[in-house]
């Protein structure tokens, strides 16, 4: 099977080409063509020796996952469903075995006047089972490979620049025109828990940051985590990008219910990990994401508990009104309860933003990404059995 070169960072590509007898500078040339020029055809890599181009055509590919469908929202948000192969579900079929399902992941591009943000997935489904998240209700199948993660960025840039723009891409590579990179920011906030797929995510992050590839600054790449404390410490050591923590509750009793990983890493441990991360972080604050669930975590007393919880953690809050999906069991909070909650935090000196809902008409808003998951964890069937009991 041909080697997908999207699986390699520069060191990996250098090592692979070295096995073919090529010198290190060849790896840098190929790497530039793949990630900076967005080129997938080796024959178009015109400054590379013809013999190497022929070898690459025989032994390698540059291939993102196939796109099953693409939707564009009325507000310009775009969502792609990538086909990431078949999976076997724990749900039995008529023969007693698992059902074979084509796995799908979703990627969202959010255009704004001063930036273009790509929301990238890291897993097929998610194992953490946060109760307000559509992805979490789909169960879990597997981690994504490096190629499947970075391929989302490669494909988005490729499409958004225009697939028929090959000449200008080649000119750009040669240094004749300014780089046109529609994706200026990446947030690892799509399907899955990024820190549960640590090595592949860190390798993909390295490619995003590499000046020979996408050249994004650490401030413009954000990893969102539900709070896997040991992995937060490892990320701080290996690749300290901006960090967003999915908080969603101000006390352990409530967070245990809606973010089950809290039972393993409770809030005191999580806050300590946030303080440690800030020593290495490119920003001097942690972003806390807080999905507002009507009547669950949106009361004034919850806001006052938050103030005490984060008193010694430099931070900003991103309040996210719940985005409904079928059978979620939750409701979006009213405008007045959201206003009061935000005001209490602001009066205490916290920086607070309210996330504008983008792409909800194509189910691309925060918490709505579901894709298609062959749930080998069996969680979907267990949930259905609980609800039927």
Gap between the Cα atoms of 248 and 245, Å rounded: 9
Residue 116: partners with Cβ closer than 8 Å, 6 or more residues away? 109, 110, 160, 182, 183, 184, 185
Count of CA atoms in the C-beta half-sphere (13 A) of 190:
33
SS3 state of residue 176: coil
The Cα–Cα gap between 235 and 316 comes to 20
Find residue 203's DSSP bridge partners.
none
- Phi, psi (degrees; rounded to nearest 5) at 85: 90, 180
* End-to-end CA gap in the chain: 48
Q: Which residue has the tokens 């192969």?
A: 85
Burial class (CB in 10 A: 0-12, 13-18, 19+), 281: buried
How, if at all, do strands 78-92 and 286-292 pair? unpaired
Q: What region does 371 belong to: left with phi over 0, alpha with psi -120 to 50, or beta?
A: left
CA angle, 216 then 221 then 223, to 5°? 155
Q: What are the catalytic residues?
A: 106, 366
- Rounded Cα distance between 135 and 154, Å, is 23
CA atoms lying within 13 Å on the CB side of residue 12? 14
């Amino acid at each position: 099977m041909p080697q997908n070169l999207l699986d390699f960072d520069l060191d990996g590509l250098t090592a692979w080409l070295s096995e073919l007898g090529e010198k290190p500078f060849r790896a840098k040339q190929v790497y530039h063509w793949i990630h900076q020029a967005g080129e997938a055809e080796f024959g178009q890599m015109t400054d590379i020796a013809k013999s190497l181009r022929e070898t690459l055509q025989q032994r390698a590919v540059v291939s993102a996952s196939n796109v099953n469908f693409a939707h564009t929202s009325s507000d310009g948000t775009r969502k792609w469903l990538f086909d990431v192969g078949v999976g076997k579900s724990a749900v039995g079929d008529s023969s007693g075995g698992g059902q074979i399902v084509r796995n799908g992941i979703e990627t969202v591009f959010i255009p704004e006047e001063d930036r273009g943000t790509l929301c990238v997935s890291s897993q097929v489904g998610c194992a953490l089972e946060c109760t307000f998240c559509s992805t979490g209700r789909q169960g879990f199948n597997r981690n994504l490979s490096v190629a499947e993660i970075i391929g989302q960025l490669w494909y988005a840039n490729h499409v958004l620049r225009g697939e028929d723009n090959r000449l200008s891409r080649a000119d750009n590579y040669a240094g004749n025109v300014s780089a046109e990179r529609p994706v200026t920011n990446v947030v690892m906030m799509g399907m899955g828990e990024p820190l549960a797929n640590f090595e592949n995510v860190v390798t993909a992050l390295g490619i995003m940051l590499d000046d020979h590839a996408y050249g994004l600054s650490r401030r413009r790449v954000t990893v969102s985590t539900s709070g896997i404390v040991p992995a937060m410490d490892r990320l701080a050591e290996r690749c300290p990008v901006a960090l967003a923590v999915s908080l969603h509750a101000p006390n352990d009793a409530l967070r245990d219910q809606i973010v089950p990983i809290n039972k393993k890493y409770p809030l005191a441990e999580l806050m300590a990990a946030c303080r440690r991360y800030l020593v290495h972080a490119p920003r001097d604050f942690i972003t806390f994401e807080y999905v507002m669930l009507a009547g669950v975590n949106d009361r004034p007393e919850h806001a006052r508990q938050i103030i005490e919880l984060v008193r010694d953690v430099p931070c900003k809050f991103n309040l996210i009104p719940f985005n409904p999906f079928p059978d979620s069991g939750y409701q979006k909070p009213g405008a007045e309860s959201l206003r009061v909650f935000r005001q209490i935090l602001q009066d205490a000196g916290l920086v607070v933003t309210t996330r504008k809902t983008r792409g909800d008409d194509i189910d691309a808003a925060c918490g709505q990404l579901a894709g298609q998951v062959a749930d080998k964890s069996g969680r979907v069937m267990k949930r259905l059995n609980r609800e039927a009991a």
